């Protein structure tokens, strides 16, 4: 805020000061186009922001003759040209890659030609949410390309984009995208209002925005989904969800969401609905297992070994006969170790990542068991639990699940199975209290019929008739009807 005020004072005090302000930087260029004193144009731009190619090909040729700024504006074949005399706007525009053209150095009027040099990586496959089937297009770091990708999927005028600038220093472009006539206007207003209220110096990623506007920012659970898949975003928009896209971030934020949506992979729709359902429920089960299996091991091995039938108990006890630690420490060590391997795997330089990954995963794991520091069974369980947590297509959510294991292990050590279910109940209450944009986060309560069309299970497309009710969509029904032949299939149906 302080800096912003300072800017305004400066600009109002002396309007021509902007050249002086910008010239402090070495990559700022302020020069004549001609050596003859009477007919020069003054050019000002940041060498590092503009494309010199366009400057030489499309702009400079027109500056040979003495023309007024208006004439220039109509002649130069560049799309974004503004005539302005507002110092603040000129600075902003130059900072975004425009060149400013003046007739005299002290003129207030400026012609601003945007020839920004934007270099971004090409549209590529989604890095985190990969899938075997379905479209393989992921968002990239440039906002306009991202919006273009969405518009290609939904070429209707109802798709609206509301753009804002957030961040006192970063001036990041943030776009709120929604379908007019489907999305609840109340939700849209809430999102826009909350983004407008953000006061922060810099916004580097969409996660900044999503964690700032979330209903409960102390929660471990992500109350919005951040995705890099174009199909997920487009599907969400048609149901009445709201998308937040941030310039410089390949992850778009979907709001409002329910817990269950973290288990939906877009691949589910590529399979037959029965197989799709099988995998969706499998994901639910594996996340449950991932959170419960190590705490259960600690609880049962510490307090309730009677639960295990004698023959199975033999295997369990036999495998940890040489382990000198109590089950709690054993489990905690192993869980922490796996987390370390995972964390290092992300940070490891790409070239040595693979070879060290093998060392971390296999060599250490094998050695730990052989050295008798942990049991085989626990190694299997922990490995399985960690793998299972990644079945959720939403990366943030799988992190939450693995984090929640630790308090559960502590309570399991303290209270046994009682402690495991105590944490379960704490999490359940927490989820019941959570909201996403004021809508209940947990999707099993209150029960909605729409949750059984495409949330818990995915019915065939012809039976997904309504948009999710918890979003309060303006358009309640989907337009369904598959192009099947109404003729009887065989003699039986005649």
Partner 1 sequence: MQANIRHQVSPYLVFFIIYNSQVGVGILGFQRIIAAKAGYDAWIGVLLAGCLVQAFIWIAYKLLGKADGDIIDVHINLFGNFLGKFLSFFIIIYYWLASISVLLGFIEIVQVWMFPTIPSWILSIPLLLLMYYCVSGGFRTIVGMSFLSFVFPQILLIYLYIFPLKIAHFANLLPIMNHSFMEIMDSIKSSMYTLAGTEALLMYYPFIRDPKASKKFAHLGVLFTTLLYTVSSIVSFTFYSENQLKTTIWPELSLTKIIKLSFLERFEYLYISMYLIIVTSLLGLLFWCSSRGLKKIFCRKQKYTLLILCILSVVLSQFITETFKEMLDKMVTQMNLYIFYGYIPLLLLVFTFLKRGNQNG
Give me the residues that bind partner 1 (CB under 8 A), please. Answer: 303-304, 306-309, 312, 415-418, 420-422, 424-426, 428-430, 432-433, 442, 444-447
> Distance (Å, rounded) from C-alpha 270 to C-alpha 292?
30
* DSSP H or E stretch at residue 173: strand 172-179
Taking the complex as a whole, the smallest distance from the CB of residue 469 to partner 1 amounts, in Å, to 12
Asked if the bond preceding 88 is cis, omega within 30° of 0, the reply is no
Q: How far is the CB of 485 from partner 1 (least distance, A)?
A: 40
Locate the DSSP E strands across 217-288.
225-227, 242-246, 252-255
Of the pair 28, 426, the CB lying nearest partner 1 is at: 426
Nearer of residues 406 and 415 to partner 1, judged by Cβ: 415
> How far apart are CB 193 and partner 1 at their closest, in Å?
19
Instruction: Give least dist CB 472 to partner 1, A.
Output: 13
Q: Which is nearer to partner 1, 306 or 491 (CB)?
A: 306
Cβ proximity to partner 1, 105 vs 428, nearer residue? 428
395-415 vs 327-347: helix axis angle to the nearest 10?
160
- Edge-to-edge strand list for the sheet holding 28-32: 28-32, 42-46, 98-102, 110-114, 81-84
* Residue ranges of E strands in 12-134: 28-32, 42-46, 81-84, 98-102, 110-114
Token pair for residue 279? 């995998």
Instruction: Tell me how far apart the alpha carbons of residues 460 and 272 are, in angstroms, rounded to a whole number.
Output: 8
Measured distance CA(339)–CA(402) in Å, rounded: 9
Rounded-to-integer distance, Cα 281 and Cα 272, Å: 14
Distances (CA, A) of 281 to 228, 275, 458, 461, 462: 23, 10, 10, 18, 21
Q: How far is the CB of 277 from partner 1 (least distance, A)?
A: 19
- Give 52 or 425: the residue with its C-beta nearer to partner 1: 425
Report the residue number, 155 or 309, with the smaller CB distance to partner 1.
Answer: 309
* Cβ nearer to partner 1, comparing 22 with 300: 300
Closer to partner 1 by Cβ: residue 271 or 426: 426
Nearest one of 192, 210, 213, 300 to 252, comparing CA atoms? 210
Which residue's structure tokens are 């969401």? 257
Tell me the C-alpha distance between 316 and 483, whole Å.
Answer: 56
Toward partner 1, which CB reaches closer, 54 or 409?
409
146 vs 187, which CB is nearer to partner 1? 187
Least distance in angstroms from the C-beta of 258 to partner 1: 13
Q: How far is the CB of 254 from partner 1 (least distance, A)?
A: 24
Q: How near is the Cβ of 323 to partner 1 at its closest, in Å? A: 22
Residue 477 Cβ vs partner 1, minimum distance, rounded to whole Å: 21
| SS3 call for 100 | strand
Cα–Cα dist 494/492, whole Å: 6
Shortest Å, Cβ 282 to partner 1: 18
Distance CA 209, CA 166 (A): 9
CA-CA distance, 393 to 268, in Å (whole number)?
A: 11
Gap between the Cα atoms of 457 and 103, Å rounded: 67
């Amino acid at each position: 805020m302080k800096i912003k005020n300072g800017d305004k004072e400066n600009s109002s005090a002396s309007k021509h000061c902007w050249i002086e302000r910008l010239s402090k930087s070495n990559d700022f260029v302020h020069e004549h186009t001609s050596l003859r004193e009477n007919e020069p144009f003054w050019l000002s731009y940041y060498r590092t922001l503009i494309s010199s190619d366009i400057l030489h090909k499309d702009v400079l040729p027109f500056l040979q003759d003495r023309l007024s700024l208006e004439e220039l504006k109509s002649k130069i074949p560049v799309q974004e040209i503004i005539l302005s005399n507002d110092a603040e706007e000129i600075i902003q525009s130059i900072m975004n890659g425009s060149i400013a053209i003046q007739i005299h150095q002290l003129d207030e009027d400026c012609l601003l030609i945007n020839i920004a040099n934007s270099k971004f990586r090409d549209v590529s496959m989604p890095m985190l949410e990969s899938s075997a089937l379905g479209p393989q297009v992921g968002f990239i770091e440039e906002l306009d390309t991202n919006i273009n990708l969405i518009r290609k999927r939904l070429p209707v005028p109802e798709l609206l984009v509301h753009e804002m600038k957030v961040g006192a220093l970063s001036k990041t472009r943030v776009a709120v995208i929604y379908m007019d006539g489907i999305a609840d206007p109340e939700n849209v207003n809430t999102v826009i209002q909350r983004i407008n209220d953000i006061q922060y110096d810099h916004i580097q990623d969409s996660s900044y925005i999503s964690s700032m506007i979330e209903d409960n920012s102390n929660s471990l659970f992500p109350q919005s989904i951040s995705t890099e898949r174009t199909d997920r975003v487009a599907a969400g928009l048609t149901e009445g969800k709201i998308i937040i896209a941030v310039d410089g971030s390949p992850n778009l934020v979907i709001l409002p969401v329910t817990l269950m949506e973290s288990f939906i992979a877009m691949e589910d729709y590529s399979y037959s609905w029965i197989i799709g359902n099988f995998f969706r429920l499998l994901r639910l089960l594996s996340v449950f297992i991932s959170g419960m299996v190590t705490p259960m091991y600690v609880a049962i091995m510490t307090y309730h070994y009677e639960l295990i039938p004698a023959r199975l108990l033999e295997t369990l006890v036999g495998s940890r006969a040489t382990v000198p630690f109590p089950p709690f420490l054993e489990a905690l060590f192993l869980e922490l170790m796996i987390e370390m391997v995972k964390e290092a795997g992300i940070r490891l330089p790409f070239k040595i990542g693979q070879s060290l990954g093998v060392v971390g995963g296999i060599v250490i794991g094998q050695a730990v068991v052989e050295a008798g520091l942990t049991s085989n069974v626990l190694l299997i369980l922990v490995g399985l639990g960690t793998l299972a947590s990644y079945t959720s297509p939403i990366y943030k959510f799988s992190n939450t699940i693995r984090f929640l294991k630790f308090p559960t292990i502590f309570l399991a050590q303290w209270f046994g199975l009682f402690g495991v279910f105590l944490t379960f109940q704490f999490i359940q209450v927490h989820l019941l209290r959570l909201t996403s944009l004021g809508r209940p986060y947990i999707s099993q309560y209150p029960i909605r019929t729409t949750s059984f069309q495409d949330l818990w299970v995915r019915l065939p497309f012809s039976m997904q008739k309504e948009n999710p009710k918890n979003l309060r969509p303006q358009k309640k029904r989907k337009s369904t009807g598959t192009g099947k032949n109404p003729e009887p299939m065989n003699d039986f149906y005649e």
